[in-house]
Structure 1
Amino acid sequence: MKFETGMENNTSDLCDGGECEGCPTDPTLLIEFKHAIHALGGKWKLEILFTLMNGSVRFGALRRALVPITQHVLTAQLRELEHDGLVARKVLAEKPLQVEYELTDSAWGLTPAFRELLAWSKLFGPRRHAEANRTTLEAEPG
């Protein structure tokens, strides 16, 4: 019996699974993918980037938008995002000292990926939760 997964049309005739330029098994591509995941991976990084897509935000406002994030975690994640070139830190000439964060051009380049993640979540997220709830209800003795 042959099962169809819906992924049959996602294969490429250009790559027969052997070694070729652009093949998903290319070690260079895997390294690049790992760099991207490292830059985006980490507690709160995606939420921080998503929040900054509304424009520049001061540290305090960013922290309030991301409750229950701690000041320590927010600071650490912002430093990593800044180091990876995704977030720019701007010190404002005000007293008391105010710091504002904004996305870099590099981070704005993630907009299509964020749109795709949202589309994926709308398509599969609720269904996945509904299936999980149905499985839980069916497993309960009744």
Structure 2
Amino acid sequence: MEKTYNIGVEATMEVIGGKWKPIILCHLRNGVMRTGELRRAIPKITQKMLTQQLRELEAAAIICRTVYQQVPPKVEYCLTDYGESLETILHQLCVWGEENVDRRREQGEQVNLLQWDAALENRDK
């Protein structure tokens, strides 16, 4: 089946688009994570949605799923080499988001960025 895209970003968004995939990928940039760790890191995602998004990213060869045969079962996720090629894109999305939060704060909006705020607190100590 032939696919046609009007612009390259369409092909990118087909693989990493949506509300949750970029967030999952940003967390996995920092290293291997288990399902429960991802759930805690992304508290608003449901288990069903997390599982679905992880399966889609695995099918696209962006992440790798490793299952350890033990009781209880242990499953870990990490970026593949192909997934790591998204590092620049993911980093720029994070930077843009942080700058956007700063801009909105300067305009008087009450907006929180938990990970950024925690990093600033730790830096000041």
Counterpart contact for 2:22–2:90, Cα < 8 Å:
no
Q: Distance in 1 between matches of 2:59 and 2:83?
A: 12
Identity of aligned residues (%): 39
Structure with bigger RCO (C-alpha 8 Å, 6+ apart): 2
Counterpart contact for 1:42–1:77, Cα < 8 Å:
no
Partner of 1:77: 53
Structure 2 counterpart of 1:37, from 8, 13, 16: 13
Mapped pair 1:105 → 2:81: yes
> CA-to-partner distance for each residue in 1:3-58, whole Å, 9 max, x for gaps?
xxxxxxxxxxxxxxxxxxxxxxxx8661x321111111123111111111121111
Mapped pair 1:57 → 2:25: no
Larger radius of gyration: 1
Q: Distance in 1 between matches of 2:108 and 2:11?
A: 32
Partner of 2:23: 47
- Which residues of structure 2 form unaligned runs of 5+? 110-125
Shift of 1:109: 1.0
TM-score by length of 1: 0.65
Shift of 1:106: 1.2
Counterpart of 2:31 in structure 1: which amino acid?
Answer: G
